[in-house]
Structure 1
Amino acid sequence: MIQIYHNNRCTKSRQALQALENSGKDFEVIYYLETPPDKTTLEKLIEKLNIGPLDLIRKSEKIYIERYKGQNLTDAEWIDAMVENPILIERPIVVWGDKAVIARPTQRINDVLG
């Protein structure tokens, strides 16, 4: 089943959710700020996205700027930071099977849905 890691306060995330609704496909909404992904889930997401953990970090977030900007952390430490502070996770993420994309722009969803 298709999944979307969603933050309802984010315009891009709402746009991605609307695109999935318009697709007519079944999907699951994961409100990742309410039920944050654990370390294993994040590791699998990063693998499916084919990026490094730092590439999944929202560098405009206040907590990033105050606590992490300029830090030279390991991949494991970046993952721990996202587990501890899920607001750092870039959004929206759309997952289907072994494929995933950060749906910015929203049209990137088509890379997953084919």
Structure 2
Amino acid sequence: MSDVTVLHHAQCSTSRHALTVAEDLGVAVEVVQYLKAPLAREELLALLAKLEDSPADLVRKDSFFRDRGLDAADYTTADEVADLLVTHPRLMERPVLVRGERAVIGRPKDRVAGFLQG
């Protein structure tokens, strides 16, 4: 049984890196492919409550974000971020690692090992 959950996107090299680090450290993880099974609003709010990063950090401000005319200033609170990610799950930053009541975004990559070992 794993005590760490990784919200994972298989096409993301940083997300794959997190799984490799976990394997190298011998840490069993539960992998949740959040694009195949998107999180509900309540699950996102629970995740955001655990997140050591700011709610805004959970949103990718990539070309998909910009192409929709979205403004980062509109997505700073947990409620705003949860509403956005329910509509556009692909905008969730990845990977996200969760252990108990703590969660971190695995960017930059060097955050992963410290979280997994802690």
> In structure 2, which of residues 85, 90, 93 is the aligned counterpart of residue 90 of structure 1?
93
Structure 1 Cα separation of the partners of residues 81 and 51 of structure 2: 16
Aligned to 1:23: 25
1:61 CA drift (Å): 3.9
CA contact (8 A) 1:19 1:106 kept: no
- With the length of structure 2 as denominator, give the TM-score of the two structures: 0.84
Aligned to 1:69: 71
Q: How many pairs were matched up?
A: 113
Q: 1:112 to 1:19 in 2, by over 3 A?
A: closer
- With the length of structure 1 as denominator, give the TM-score of the two structures: 0.87
Greater Cα offset, 2-11 or 71-80: 71-80
CA contact (8 A) 2:6 2:95 kept: yes
CA contact (8 A) 1:100 1:112 kept: no
In structure 1, runs of 5+ residues without a counterpart are none
* Cα-Cα RMSD: 1.8
Matched, 1:102 2:86: no
In structure 2, runs of 5+ residues without a counterpart are none
1:50 CA drift (Å): 3.1
